[in-house]
Amino acid sequence: MEKEIHKQTHLTPNLPDYKKAYKGFQWEAVRTELGLVPPVNIASKAVDQHARSWRRNKVALYWEGAEGQNCKYTFYELQKESNRIGNMLLNLGVRRGDRVFVFLPRILELYTSVIGIAKIGAVAGPMFSAFGPEALRDRLLDSGAKVLITHASLRERIHQVWDELPELKHVIVVGASAPSASLRAGSGGHVPLRKGEVSFEREVEKAPRGLEVEDMDLEDPLYILYTSGTTGKPKGVVHVHHDMLSHYITSKWVLDLKEEDVYWCTADPGWVTGTVYGLWGPWLNGCSQVTFEGRFEAEHWYSIIERYGVTVWYTAPTALRMLMKAGPEVVKKYNLKSLRYILSVGEPLNPEVIRWGMEVFGLCIHDTWWQTETGAIMIANYPSVPVRPGSMGKPFPGTEAAIIDGKGHKLPPGNSGILALKVAGPLPTQGWPSMMRALWGDEKRYKEYFTIPGWYTTGDTAHVDKDGYFWFIGRADDVIMTAGHRVGPFEVESALVEHRAVAEAGVIGKPDPERGEIIKAFIVLRHGHKPSIELEEEIKEFIRHRLSAHAYPREIQFMDGIPKTRSGKIMRRLLKARELGLPEGDLSTLED
Query: What residues make contact with ligand PRX under the rule CB under 6 A?
Result: 227, 272-273, 345-348, 367-372, 392, 458-460, 472, 475, 567
Q: Which is nearer to ligand PRX, 272 or 479 (CB)?
A: 272
Q: How far is the CB of 435 from ligand PRX (least distance, A)?
A: 13
- Minimum distance from residue 317 beta carbon to ligand PRX (Å): 8
Please enumerate in sequence order all residues whose Cβ is within 8 A of that of 371, keeping only pairs 6 or more positions apart, or say none.
227, 272, 378, 458
With 0-12 / 13-18 / 19 or more C-beta atoms within 10 angstroms meaning exposed / middle / buried, residue 355 is middle
By the 8 A CB rule, do 201 and 151 touch? no
Spacing of C-alpha 35 from chain mean position: 27
Q: Which is nearer to ligand PRX, 200 or 314 (CB)?
A: 314
**Which residue lies nearer to ligand PRX by CB, 199 or 318?**
318
Q: Which amino acid is at 312?
A: V
CB nearer ligand PRX, residue 102 or residue 378: 378
Q: What is the dihedral of CA 46, 49, 51, 53, to 10 degrees?
A: -130
DSSP code, position 277: I
Q: What is the DSSP string of 417-477?
A: EEEEEE--SSTTTTTSTTS--EETT-HHHHHGGG-STTEEEEEEEEEE-TTS-EEEEEETT
Of 116 and 234, the one with the shorter C-beta distance to ligand PRX is 234
Contact assessment for residue 14 and residue 340, using Cβ atoms and an 8 Å cutoff? no
Smallest distance, ligand PRX to C-beta of residue 2, A? 16
> Please, what is the minimum distance in Å from the beta carbon of residue 486 to ligand PRX?
16
**From the CB of 380, what's the least distance to ligand PRX, in Å?**
9
To ligand PRX, the closest distance from the beta carbon of 234 in angstroms equals: 11
Which residue from 473, 475, 476 is spatially nearest to 551, judged by alpha carbons?
473
Cβ distance to ligand PRX smaller for residue 110 or 353: 353
Q: Nearest-CB residue to ligand PRX?
A: 372
The minimum distance between CB 189 and ligand PRX, in angstroms, equals: 36
Q: Give whichever of 41 and 458 is closer to ligand PRX, judged by the CB atom.
A: 458
Considering the complex, state which of residue 143 and residue 372 has its C-beta at the smaller distance from ligand PRX. 372
Contact 552, 544 (CB under 8 A): yes
Q: Which residues contact 427 (CB under 8 A, 6 or more apart)?
A: 219, 437
Query: Among residues 77 and 367, whose Cβ is nearest to ligand PRX?
Result: 367
Query: Least distance in Å: CB of 45 to ligand PRX?
Result: 22
Residue 14 vs 273, nearer CB to ligand PRX: 273
Q: Which amino acid is at 318?
A: T
Left if phi > 0, otherwise alpha if psi is -120 to 50, otherwise beta: which for 138? Answer: alpha
The nearest distance, CB 499 to ligand PRX, in angstroms, is 21
Contact 83/91 with Cβ under 8 angstroms? no
Q: Under a CB-based contact definition with an 8 Å cutoff, are residues 221 and 239 in contact?
A: yes
Contacts for 206 with CB less than 8 Å, ≥ 6 apart: 88, 91
Output 8 or 273, the one with its CB closest to ligand PRX: 273
The minimum distance between CB 589 and ligand PRX, in angstroms, equals: 8
For residues 135 and 589, what is the distance between their CA atoms, to the nearest angstrom? 8
User: Minimal distance in Å, beta carbon 566 to ligand PRX?
Assistant: 10
Contact status, residue 196 vs residue 223, Cβ threshold 8 Å: no
The distance of closest approach from Cβ of residue 368 to ligand PRX in the complex, given in angstroms and rounded to an integer, is: 6
Rounded Cα distance, 227 and 336, in Å = 34
Q: How far is the CB of 345 from ligand PRX (least distance, A)?
A: 5
The DSSP result for 162-223, as a single string, is: GGG-TT--EEEEETSSS--TT--TT--S-PPP-TTEEEHHHHHHHS-S---PPP--TTSEEE
Nearer to ligand PRX, 460 or 586 (CB): 460
Gap between the Cα atoms of 475 and 230, Å rounded: 10
Considering the complex, state which of residue 65 and residue 563 has its C-beta at the smaller distance from ligand PRX: 563
- Taking the complex as a whole, the smallest distance from the CB of residue 6 to ligand PRX amounts, in Å, to 21
For residue 140, the 8-state DSSP code is H
Give the whole-angstrom CA distance, residue 475 versus residue 436.
Answer: 19
Please spell the DSSP secondary structure of 498-563, one letter per residue: TSTTEEEEEEEEEEETTTEEEEEEEEEEPTT----HHHHHHHHHHHHHHS-GGGS-SEEEEES---
CB atoms near residue 177 (< 10 Å): 19
310 vs 419, beta carbon nearer ligand PRX: 419
Q: State the number of CA atoms in the 13 A half-sphere of 343 facing the CB.
A: 32
Beta strands at 379-380 and 417-422: parallel, antiparallel or unpaired: unpaired
In terms of Cα–Cα distance, which of 213, 288, 286 is closest to 248?
286
